[in-house]
Amino acid sequence: MKAVKLGAGILTLVLGLTAAGCSHSDEQADGDVRLDDAVIKAKGEDNDMTSIFGTLVNDTDKDVTVESFTTSLGEAHYQLHEVVDGVMREKSGGFAIPAHGTHELRPGGDHMMVMGYAHPVAAGDEITVTLNLGDGSETELDPIPVRSIGAGEENYGDLEGSQDGHEHGDHAHKEG
């Protein structure tokens, strides 16, 4: 009887340590780059764009660059954007995040854009975002909530396929 209890105890200990070891390494692998306080701006059918905001966090010992991204929305144009002197434009070179550092994505600054998506993105939905990093790896983020949020006035400048006076707050095109 003692041998059975001892064997069961050792088995429980081994399984517990194995599970603990796996969950720690899985967390570490998934937690190297994340987007804290993430939100996706809700949009209706009358609008074909939305934005993604939050704080990119790099928990690794080396600098990381987000070069592009995709989402669970599927077919759309995905671009990294910056705002310089009030003009929104595609950001070349991606978002650099220093080792153990952060990079803020916010209205009126750097952010991720989903363009050419005709379907509504409703407040309360959750969207999965996958970051494509400069080293060729991908990081799938935790599902990001969609919220109705306001944003600042921005101008697309010479961004291909856009018009001056584009209001980023509701992503509606203005004539003129």
In a domain? residue 64: yes
pLDDT of residue 149: 82
Alpha carbon 69 to chain centroid distance? 7
Q: Within this chain, do residues 15 and 58 fall inside the same structural domain, yes or no?
A: no
pLDDT of residue 115: 97
Q: In terms of DSSP bridges, do strands 144-147 and 95-97 run parallel, antiparallel, or are they unpaired?
A: unpaired
What mean pLDDT is predicted for residues 66-71?
A: 98
pLDDT of residue 110: 98
Position 5 confidence tier, pLDDT thresholds 50, 70, 90: low
Q: Please choose, from the candidates 81, 54, 99, 56, the residue with its C-alpha nearest in 3D space to the C-alpha of residue 154.
A: 81
Question: Which residue segment(s) compose the domain that 8 sits in?
Answer: 1-30
Q: Are 71 and 129 in contact (CB under 8 A)?
A: yes
Query: If you average pLDDT over each of 46-60, 138-152, 154-168, which comes out highest?
Result: 46-60
Q: How many domains does the chain have?
A: 2
Least confident of 14-23, 95-104, 107-116: 14-23
76-94 pLDDT tens trace? 999 999 999 999 999 999 9
Q: What are the structure tokens assigned to 107, written together? A: 């209205």
Give the span between the Cα atoms of 85 and 73, in whole angstroms: 31
Position 64 confidence tier, pLDDT thresholds 50, 70, 90: very high
Q: Within this chain, do residues 40 and 10 fall inside the same structural domain, yes or no?
A: no
pTM of full prediction above 0.85: no
pLDDT of residue 117: 97
Sequential DSSP letters for 119-154? S-B-TT-EE-EEEEETTS-EEEPPPEEEE-------
In a domain? residue 170: no
